[in-house]
Amino acid sequence: MKIMSVAGLLSVLLFWLVLPDPIHALAATPTALGVAYRGHVQDYGDLPADNGVITDGGLLGTTGEGKRIEGLTVQLTGAIAATADYNIRYNVHIQNEGWQAATDEPLSWKKDGDFAGSQGKSQRLEAIQLQLTDANGAPVTDYAVEYRVHIQDYGWSQGWKKDGAIAGTAGESKRLEAIEIRIVPKFTGSLDPAVFKTSSHRLGQTQFKPENVTVNNGQLMITIPAETMASGEVSTTALQGYGSYEISMKLPNAPSSITGFFLYAPPDYAQEIDIEIYNQPDGKIMFTSYANGALTQSLTKNLSFDPTADFHHYRIDYQPDTIDFYVDDILLTRFSEGIPHNPMYLMVNAWFPDWLAKRPAPQTQLLLIDWITIKSSRDNLF
């Protein structure tokens, strides 16, 4: 992808550094909100066995062993959990008993370290819901709880759920074998020029306009207005180094356009690492790298899902000798040669390339972004 200059202002970044605590870009202070959990697993008993806890996306349970989770406790960690008076609530579906509480009444669910499940009955958990609420019992607006479960026969196939969605099955007699839970900041507040910039330039058939980048309902939105090929683009204000870069997004349905999540620094072709997905239901994705003025690697794959139908996670793990590309935590390919070695900006956009048909979006389409995370050190830029 060839990029021109970036200018203008943008919004909120959900920003991680490798060594410090996570950084919330709007406030530029540690988020200090995490999650800790433990559970009871068939044949193993209480896990972790040392009476410790699993935190922030770690795995509770087993995979490949056919062991059921029978119950669990979940609680929030960090300063914000106390100062903001937030609660984490959870509801489980238990073999032979069904849901412990009504699925549409989070205030009736277990919360903040309560045990959910059964004890001494050898009954499996079959599904789970989690929700963050504030002191008034309303859903939290500046954070989300995400979770995924490993299901008997289905594995991790459901992907990540969030904010009260049901993960697992009910009525199919399938056990939950493992669960991962994490807290992610949402996009909130006004635009913050210290974190991101929006673009105002032309690329391919697209004119990027700052007004097409907004924050609404906890999401960053890039708009493709109806009957146009205009769009928006976002760039970090700071150069980034080696690290891990991940985004949760739902693509617009606008054939002849693509969404890019990538690292780039001018001039064109000098250094770049791309994830590019066609904005259409057939789910085609491209991975590309440039170094020293030339294309060094390029690979196109088919996705097993419609990227315009729901949110999925896309990740670049960038190291001196390798670039790994992940979709929904599955490694799709690794580049081990032709790797750029200069600082780059992290960027995201939706645009209409010259090499695709000229087909404006018939209706307004949105690129919706739940969060972006960066795990890198800006203090060690090569």
What pLDDT, on the 0 to 100 scale, is given for residue 378? 52
Beta strands in 110-175 (DSSP E): 110-111, 116-117, 125-133, 143-151, 161-162, 167-168
Provide the 8-state DSSP code for 210: G
What pLDDT, on the 0 to 100 scale, is given for residue 206? 97
Domains of the chain by range and CATH?
14-26+188-376 (2.60.120.200), 31-185 (no CATH)
* Consecutive 10-residue averages of pLDDT for the chain (382 residues): 36 33 30 90 95 94 98 95 92 98 98 96 98 96 95 95 97 97 86 84 96 93 97 96 96 97 95 98 96 96 95 96 96 97 96 95 96 73 46
Give the span between the Cα atoms of 365 and 294, in whole angstroms. Answer: 33
Q: What value does the mean pLDDT of the chain take?
A: 89
Give the span between the Cα atoms of 132 and 141, in whole angstroms. Answer: 9
Give the span between the Cα atoms of 60 and 30, in whole angstroms. Answer: 26
φ, ψ of residue 195 to 5 degrees: the values are -110, -50
* Per-residue pLDDT tens over the stretch 163-190: 999 999 999 999 999 999 999 988 887 6
Residues 6+ positions from 253 with CB-CB distance below 8 Å: 279, 280, 281, 308, 365
Bridge-partner residues for 223, per DSSP? 366
What pLDDT, on the 0 to 100 scale, is given for residue 276? 98
- Do 258 and 251 contact (CB within 8 A), yes or no? no
Q: In this structure, how many other beta carbons lie within 10 angstroms of the beta carbon of residue 112?
A: 14
Share of the chain above pLDDT 90, in %: 81
* Per-residue pLDDT tens over the stretch 83-111: 889 999 999 999 999 999 999 999 999 99
